[in-house]
Structure 1
Amino acid sequence: MIRSVVIVGGGTAGWMTASYLKAAFDDRLDVTLVESPQVRRIGVGEATFSTVRHFFDYLGLDEADWLPKCAGGYKLGIRFENWAGDGEHFYHPFERLRVVDGFSVADWWLALGDRSESFDRSCFITTALCEAKRSPRLLDGSLFSSGLDGSLGRSTLDEQRAQFPYAYHFDADKVAEYLAGIATKNGVRHIVDDVKHVAQDERGWITHVRTAGHGDVAGDLFVDCTGFRGLLINQTLGTAFESFEDVLPNNRAVALRVPRDEATDMNPYTTARAMNAGWMWTIPLFRRNGNGYVYSDRFISPEEAERELRQAVAPGRDDLEANHIRMRIGRNRDSWVNNCVAIGLSSAFVEPLESTGIFFIQHGIEQLVRYFPDERWDPVSIAAYNDRVAHAVEGVKEFLVLHYKSARRDDTPYWKEAKLRAMPEGLRARLDLADSRLLDEETIYPRYHGFESYSWNAMNLGLGRIPRTPAPALAHMDPANARAEFARIKAEADELVAALPSCHEYLAKIND
């Protein structure tokens, strides 16, 4: 029986793993986390998927308690700005498309041909809530969509049925600290020390890590949460890393933590603004913004990128420290090798364009619990783990490449080159189909990767990849029900904008 797990590396990945394993296995599993005091965390303000609520509910944590402690805010979706080079914007929300007479409202929007309002404003309620900076919760704490409220209990990503209407923004360092407190209270042993050596047996399996001040730390299963270094999975075990730089253009980022002067000016969404050599994020936290520029150093230098970022989000604030990050874009060929599992950046990373970092961590942890080993170390189960993790990453890769291929920008060398890059196998056929009709669950990437067909369609339509003709069947159908549904969407949006408090007003209440 596997009795002990040693996690090497802290941060969000390490402490999410430690707290989750303790919640899952309690005292039946010894968990030790070894964290170097010298390693600087990358966390610069984090955006998430709506499915992250499964993680917090699994641990039995109350949003009203943990969110204020982590400088948290709400995320109703992502606002994409300037992806056609014209300053315009659209939203990718956490909201499924409604269906009328067997066709989505997006199909009906194409068929009715009324482009006086954009696709996202016509087809989603969330767009109006974002524009009005509304909280998804009323001042009494209730969710605007009451049927989706309440704890999910000990549920997982596999049990996601309804689309929850929001995710979170939070300070990743504060989340790590908060979860560290939960984990150590529940029995996780925390060692703050440098790993000087990783010992292996004659098979190449890890037996222990040797620390500078605490001696040898032995375990049965080792989890690599050392970030892009991949101390165990890559440096020790020599696992091959498969780069995605052939299809995704960006390899660097620079980030700033920017105080927000007007506390009421708090957006309930992430912003991704296209720049000349990449894109810029804004993640609103309760008292500051996390800002960053993701770029390719083939088209702009780190110094120039920092200068552009400062001019855009913090002019005159040369006192704010910039965090330069060299990103390792791709995934390990296998994230589980021998008795070592890589979770977080040591496993895979595909740039933060759709906030997939925390999702990959959560998915990796859940799959580890699902395929948790015994003394047989069943190779079939290990292969199944690697297969699931790889497919989740590959699906996200395809979805992100779509952003660059479908964007209408081609006005700079960076954007011209993005159009010429290779595409993952299968994506070309999907984009060819998207030129003719909207995608569905049968025609998007076929394995679980966290995104549904509404996301693929929202991005294609928002970016400008619009089918040449509407679905021909709709020309033979009465559009009355569709027109009524569009009217209902607008009326519901107006009612919610009037009823809901601002994002800042609600968060200020729970931060008292």
Structure 2
Amino acid sequence: MISTVVIVGGGTAGWMTATYLKAAFGDRVGVTLVESARVPSIGVGEATFSTVRHFFDYLGLDETEWMPRCSASYKLGIRFEGWRAPGHHFYHPFERLPVADGFNLAEWWLRLGDPAEGFDRQCYITPWLCEARRSPRALDGSLFASGLDGPLGRSTLAEQRDQFPYAYHFDADLLAVFLAEYGRDRGVRHVRDDVVGAGQDERGWLTCVRTREHGELTGDLFIDCTGFRGLLINKTLGETFTSFQDVLPNNRAVSLRVPRRDPERMNPYTTATAADAGWIWNIPLFERDGTGYVYSDAHCTPDEAERALRDLVAPGRDDLEANHIAIRVGRNERSWVRNCVAIGLSSAFVEPLESTGIFFIQHGIEQLIKYFPDARWDPVARDRYNDAVAHAVDGVKEFLCLHYRAAGRDDTPYWKEAGTRPVPDGLAERLTVARSMLLDENAVYPRYHGFETYSWNTMLLGLGQIPAAPRAALAHLDPARAHAEFARVRETARRLVAALPSCHEYLATIN
């Protein structure tokens, strides 16, 4: 029987893990979380997947309980600016493509669409809502997408059958504080102390972590949430970390917390703006914006990156403190080694381009519950866990590599190199297919990684990778139903823009 779990490290990863374990097992498993008051968290403001709602519902938390405490706002998608060409933008929404006569609207757009208007506005409702800064909820709290509202209960990522239309932005530090209070109230033992070492038995398994003031903290299962340091998984157990720097260009970031000049001009989306040596994010929280420049230090110094970021998002505000971060891009060969599981940045990280950091945490936690060990420490369960985590990370790696290889920019040394870097073998094959036709479910990364076929095709079309011709079958089909679907998208978008409040207007009612 595994009855005690020790989590090393707090922050978003540590407290998401601790609270989820308590929600799942109650008092049947004791949970201790130890974190140092001297080790700062990296969180500067987080954007998420729409699937994160499963986490909050699993804990029994309503939006009105946690969002105001975390300066949270809604995210309907990501706006990509300048990736195809300066001045060009498109949206990657949380919205599946409508279908007419067996073919989705992106396929029909290749035959019937207006090239003068972006494919995203013709095929999706979400871009219209984004540009009008609309909330996904009406003032009475109802969701614009009928049939998708209501609590999920104790459900997981694997049970999401419908595409929920939004995710969240939140202050990661505030979320950790909120979850720490939630966890302590439900029996998580919280130890504030420095971890100075770890004990191991003759097999190399962990027996305890040693702290400066509280002595030895013993446990059956140890969870490493120490971020890029990998204190247990790498430094103690020596697990191999595989870098993705050969295929993904960025390895540093600098961030700023920026007061919004007009608080009511809150965008309900994350913005990713192409820059000379990487890209710049904007994450609008309820009371401020989280911003940052993700870049390659082969093409830009930290000082140059900070100045470029300040000039774009906070001119004249040199008083704002910058946070410089060295990014460890890649994953551990195994995230579960002996009796230690790494979750969060200590397990894997790619970069924040598609908001996968929280997704990796949530996925890792859910898989841990699924394969939770007993006294046998079944190696099959451990190996299944490691495979699931590795496949999710590798799939995201491929998807992000597509962004750089397919981007239309080549106007700086960084973008010239990014467009010619090697890609994983699987992605090379997919890009070959994409030159002839849009990808289908048989042509995207086949293991679960959080991104559906529509996401792959949205990025390809948005970045200007247009197949040579529409599918031949469309020339033999009556286009009437497709025309009707295009008209429905446009009419629904216009109706919702007129009916829904602004994002700030709605959130002000729950803050």
Give the secondary-structure state (helix, strand or coil) at the position aligned to 2:162.
coil
Asked if 2 retains the 8 angstrom alpha-carbon contact of 1:206 and 1:340, the reply is: yes
The residue type equivalent to 2:105 in the other structure is V
Counterpart contact for 1:310–1:317, Cα < 8 Å:
yes
Query: Once superposed, what is the RMSD of the aligned Cα atoms?
Result: 0.6
Counterpart contact for 2:67–2:73, Cα < 8 Å: yes
Could you say which residue in structure 2 is the equivalent of 1:465? 465
Opposite residue 258 of structure 1, the aligned amino acid is: V
Aligned to 2:214: 214
Indicate the SS of the match to 1:459. helix
Q: Could you tell me which residue of structure 2 aligns to residue 15 of structure 1?
A: 15
Answer yes or no: is the 8 Å Cα contact 1:85–1:274 preserved in 2: no
In the other structure, the counterpart of 1:436 is 436
CA contact (8 A) 1:85 1:411 kept: no
**Which residue of 1 is the match for residue 382 of structure 2?**
382
Listed one character per residue, the Cα deviations across residues 459-500 of structure 1 (whole Å, up to 9, x for unaligned) are 000001110100000011111111111001000000000000
Query: What is the 5 A alignment of 1:58-457?
Result: 58-457=58-457
Shift of 1:115: 1.4
State the alpha-carbon separation in 2 of the partners of residues 64 and 95 from structure 1. 24
Q: Is the CA contact 2:84–2:462 (under 8 Å) kept in the aligned structure 1?
A: no
Partner AA of 2:394 in structure 1: E
Query: Residues of 1 paired with 2:287 and 2:406: CA distance?
Result: 35
* Deviation per residue, 1:125-174 (Å, 9 max, x gap): 00100000000000011101121000000000000100000000000000
Helix, strand or coil at the partner of 2:509: helix
The alignment's TM-score, normalised by the length of structure 1, stands at: 0.99
Q: In the aligned structure 2, how far is the partner of 1:114 from the partner of 1:476? A: 20
Following the alignment from structure 2 to structure 1, what is the Cα–Cα distance between the partners of residues 50 and 380?
31
Amino acid at match of 2:308: E
Measured against aligned partners, the alpha-carbon deviations of 1:151-206 in whole angstroms (never above 9, x if no partner) come to 00000000010000000000000011111111110000000000011110010000
Q: How far does residue 85 in structure 1 lie from its aligned partner after superposition?
A: 3.0
Report the Cα distance in structure 2 between the residues aligned to 1:500 and 1:306, rounded to whole angstroms: 37
Deviating more after overlay: 46-55 vs 477-486: 477-486
Instruction: Note if contact 1:270-1:284 (Cα within 8 Å) is conserved in structure 2.
Output: yes
Query: How far is 1:509 from its partner?
Result: 1.0
- The alpha carbon displacement at 1:113 in A equals 4.4
Alpha-carbon deviation of 1:224? Answer: 0.1
User: Which stretch shifts more, 114-123 or 492-501?
Assistant: 114-123
Alignment partner, residue 35 of structure 2: 35
Identity %: 72
Q: In the aligned structure 2, how far is the partner of 1:254 from the partner of 1:21?
A: 33
SS at match of 2:78: strand
Q: CA deviation at 1:425?
A: 1.8
Aligned to 2:46: 46
CA contact (8 A) 2:96 2:163 kept: yes
Q: Does 1:2 align with 2:15?
A: no
Deviation at 1:54, TM superposition (A): 0.3
Q: Distance in 1 between matches of 2:434 and 2:52?
A: 29
Unaligned runs of 5+ in 1: none
> In structure 1, the residue corresponding to 2:444 is in which secondary structure?
coil
AA partner of residue 489 (structure 1): V
Structure 1: how far apart are the matches of 2:87 and 2:328? 30
Secondary structure of 1:271's partner? strand
Q: Secondary structure in 2 aligned to 1:300?
A: coil
Q: For each residue in 1:63-110, what CA deviation from the matched residue of structure 2 results, as whole angstroms up to 9, or x when unmatched?
A: 111111100000000000000232210000000001100000000000
Query: Number of residues paired by the alignment?
Result: 511
Structure 2: stretches of 5+ with no match in the other structure:
none
Q: Secondary structure at the match of 1:446?
A: coil
Q: Which moved more, 1:269-278 or 1:420-429?
A: 420-429
AA matched with 2:263: A
The answer as to 2:508 corresponding to 1:508 is yes
Residues 412 and 142 (structure 1), Cα distance of their counterparts in 2 relative to 1, 3 Å cut: same
TM-score by length of 2: 1.00
For 1:419 and 1:114, how far apart are their aligned partners in 2?
28
Deviations 1:432-471 (A, max 9, x none): 1011111111110000000000000000000011101000
Give me the whole-angstrom Cα distance separating, in 2, the residues matched to 1:197 and 1:227: 16
After superposing on structure 2, the runs of 4+ consecutive aligned residues of structure 1 that deviate more than 2 Å are none
Q: Distance in 2 between matches of 1:274 and 1:114?
A: 26
Residue aligned with 2:475, SS: helix
Task: Give the residue type in structure 1 aligned to 2:94.
Answer: F
CA distance in 2, matches of 1:95, 1:415: 29
Deviations 1:318-372 (A, max 9, x none): 1100000000000000000000000000000000000000000000000000000
SS at match of 2:110: helix
**AA partner of residue 351 (structure 1):** E
Q: Distance in 2 between matches of 1:366 and 1:195?
A: 26
Given that 1:270 and 1:283 are in contact with CA atoms closer than 8 Å, whether structure 2 keeps it comes out as yes
2 CA distance for matches of 1:223 and 1:324? 26
Q: Distance in 2 between matches of 1:369 and 1:212?
A: 31
